[in-house]
C-alpha cells in the first residue's frame, strides 16, 4: 500500500473536509475555503556578482482575509513553488484562526538557494522581490514575516524598499524585524516558546512527566533550538537531533546549548562530541517519549508512521505529517499537537509586533511572554475541548475550531 501521489495543496485540504463534515458546511462554503483570494507570481532579474543577469521566480499567495489582513512568512528555498505557497498560505488562515488573532492567511517565497548567493546578491534579490509585491502588501492588506532561510536582515531590506516606494514609514507592513527598526522583544524565540507552552498543557492532559522524558528532534533551526533548551531545563533528555545535513544520537541525552554552539561554529550538528551519527530521518522513528518534527513538510508518512514510538508528537514544522500518516498515529494512540497550534507562537508574537508598531508603544520581554502564554494556553484548551467533545484527533479538532471562526467572519461580512 502506498500513498496516492497528489499535490501538497490537495493533501492540505483533507483536514478541512473532515472539519466541514463535522460542522455540516455546504459544498459551496467548502469550495470558497478551498480557494485563494489572490495569487501573485513574479519574475525578479538580478545582476549577479559576475556581471550576468539571473532571473528568479517569486510568489505571494493570499488565502482568506475575512478575519483580517493576510499574514504569513516568506521563504527562500530551492523547493519553493506555487503548490507549496498555496498550501502554506491556507495553513496560515487556519493557524491564525486557531489562536484567535485577527489575520487571514498569506505566504510567499522565492525559488532559490540562498546559501549559493553572496550578501550583495541576496540583498538585490530581496529588494527586487519587495518592489514586485509592494502594491499587494500593506499594514492592513498583507503582512509578511520570515520563514525558511529568511532573517530579520532580509525583513529590514523589504521594509526599506517598501518605505521608499510608498514614501512613508510604515513599520507594521512586516514583522520579525530587528529591535532597532520596530521589532518585538521575544520574537526570536517565539515559535519555540509557543510550542513549549502548548507542550506543557498537553503533558498535563496526558499525565506525562517531562522530567526524564526522552525527546527526539528533526530539524534544529530557530524553532527547535529554544524548545530543546526549555525542555532540557525541565529535566527532559534530548536523545536525538538532526538538521538538513546530519543527525546525532546519545541515549543519555545531549546538551542543547553545547549543540547550538557546535552548530553555530560548524554549520551542522554533525560530529558533535559524545554522540553517534544517525541519518536526518532517524529522529522520526527512534525510541523516545516526545517527537518534535521541526524540519520541512511530509516527514511522517505512510512508510514510517507505524514506526513512530513517541507518545506525544509536537509539530513545530508546517505540514510534517501526511493525512494517511495522521490516521495511523491516531489509531495507535499517539497524541499530536498539530502544526496549526504547536507552531503558532511565531505568528502570535508577530501579531504583538504589528500591534506595537501601530501603537508606537513597545512591551517588555515579560509582557510579551505573559501574553503569549495566555494565547497558547487558551488555544490549546479550545482545541482540546473540541477533541474531547467531537471524539476526533487533535488536528481535526483544530480545524473545526478554526473553520468555525472563519465561516462566522465570512457570514458576518456577507461573503457566503
Q: Report the alpha-carbon distance of residue 69 to residue 84 in Å, rounded.
A: 20
Q: Count how many Cα atoms sit within 13 Å of the Cα of residue 316 in the half-sphere of its side chain.
A: 32
Q: What is the DSSP pairing of strand 214-218 with strand 237-242?
A: parallel
Element counts in the chain: helices (H) and strands (E): 14, 12
Q: Report the alpha-carbon distance of residue 339 to residue 385 in Å, rounded.
A: 18
Is-contact 376 99, C-beta < 8 A?
Answer: yes
Q: What is the DSSP pairing of strand 312-314 with strand 38-47?
A: unpaired
Is-contact 248 258, C-beta < 8 A?
Answer: no
Is-contact 66 104, C-beta < 8 A?
Answer: yes
Beta-strand ranges (E) seen in 67-125 are 70-77, 104-111
Residues 398, 403, 407: CA angle, nearest 5 degrees: 160
Q: Report the alpha-carbon distance of residue 29 to residue 58 in Å, rounded.
A: 30
Is-contact 195 346, C-beta < 8 A?
Answer: no
Of 284, 289, 309, 325, the closest CA to residue 203 belongs to 289
Catalytic residue among 86, 107, 185, 405: 107
Q: Is 267 a catalytic residue?
A: no
Q: Helices 365-390 and 190-206, interaxial angle, to 10°?
A: 40
Q: What is the DSSP pairing of strand 335-337 with strand 290-293?
A: unpaired
Give the rounded distance of the alpha carbon of 279 from its chain centre.
23
Return the active site residues.
107
Amino acid at each position: 500500500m502506498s500513498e496516492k501521489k497528489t499535490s501538497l495543496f490537495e493533501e492540505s485540504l483533507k483536514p478541512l473536509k473532515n472539519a466541514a463534515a463535522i460542522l455540516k458546511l455546504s459544498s459551496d462554503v467548502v469550495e470558497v475555503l478551498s480557494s485563494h483570494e489572490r495569487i501573485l507570481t513574479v519574475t525578479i532579474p538580478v545582476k549577479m556578482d559576475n556581471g550576468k543577469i539571473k532571473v528568479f521566480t517569486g510568489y505571494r499567495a493570499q488565502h482568506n482575509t475575512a478575519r483580517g489582513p493576510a499574514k504569513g512568512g516568506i521563504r527562500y528555498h530551492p523547493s519553493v513553488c506555487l503548490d507549496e505557497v498555496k498550501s502554506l498560505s491556507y495553513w496560515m488562515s487556519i493557524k491564525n484562526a486557531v489562536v484567535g488573532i485577527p489575520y487571514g492567511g498569506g505566504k510567499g517565497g522565492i525559488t532559490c538557494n540562498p546559501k549559493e548567493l553572496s550578501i550583495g546578491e541576496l540583498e538585490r534579490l530581496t529588494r527586487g522581490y519587495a518592489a514586485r509585491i509592494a502594491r499587494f502588501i500593506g499594514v492592513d492588506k498583507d503582512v509578511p514575516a520570515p520563514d525558511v532561510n529568511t532573517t530579520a536582515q532580509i525583513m529590514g531590506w523589504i521594509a526599506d524598499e517598501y518605505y521608499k516606494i510608498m514614501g512613508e514609514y510604515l513599520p507594521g507592513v512586516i514583522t520579525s524585524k530587528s529591535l532597532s527598526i520596530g521589532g518585538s522583544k521575544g520574537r526570536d524565540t517565539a515559535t519555540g516558546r509557543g510550542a513549549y507552552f502548548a507542550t506543557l498543557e498537553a503533558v498535563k492532559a496526558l499525565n506525562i512527566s517531562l522530567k526524564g522524558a526522552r525527546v527526539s528532534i528533526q530539524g534544529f533551526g530557530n524553532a527547535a533550538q529554544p524548545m530543546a533548551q526549555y525542555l532540557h531545563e525541565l529535566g527532559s533528555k534530548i536523545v536525538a537531533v538532526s538538521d538538513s545535513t546530519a543527525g546525532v544520537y546519545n541515549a543519555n541525552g545531549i546538551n542543547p546549548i553545547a549543540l547550538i554552539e557546535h552548530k553555530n561554529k560548524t554549520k551542522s550538528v554533525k560530529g558533535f562530541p559524545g554522540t553517534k551519527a544517525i541519518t536526518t530521518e532517524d529522529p522520526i522513528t527512534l525510541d523516545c517519549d516526545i517527537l518534535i518534527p521541526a524540519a520541512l513538510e511530509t516527514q511522517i508518512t505512510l512508510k514510517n508512521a507505524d514506526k513512530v514510538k513517541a507518545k506525544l508528537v509536537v509539530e513545530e514544522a508546517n505540514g510534517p505529517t501526511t493525512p494517511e500518516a495522521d490516521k495511523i498515529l491516531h489509531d495507535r494512540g499517539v497524541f499530536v499537537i498539530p502544526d496549526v497550534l504547536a507552531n503558532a507562537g511565531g505568528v502570535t508574537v508577530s501579531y504583538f509586533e504589528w500591534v506595537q508598531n501601530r501603537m508606537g508603544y513597545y512591551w517588555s520581554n515579560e509582557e510579551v511572554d505573559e501574553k503569549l502564554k495566555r494565547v497558547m494556553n487558551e488555544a490549546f484548551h479550545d482545541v482540546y475541548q473540541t477533541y474531547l467533545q467531537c471524539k476526533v484527533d487533535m488536528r481535526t479538532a483544530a480545524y473545526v475550531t478554526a473553520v468555525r471562526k472563519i465561516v462566522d467572519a465570512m457570514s458576518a461580512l456577507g461573503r457566503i
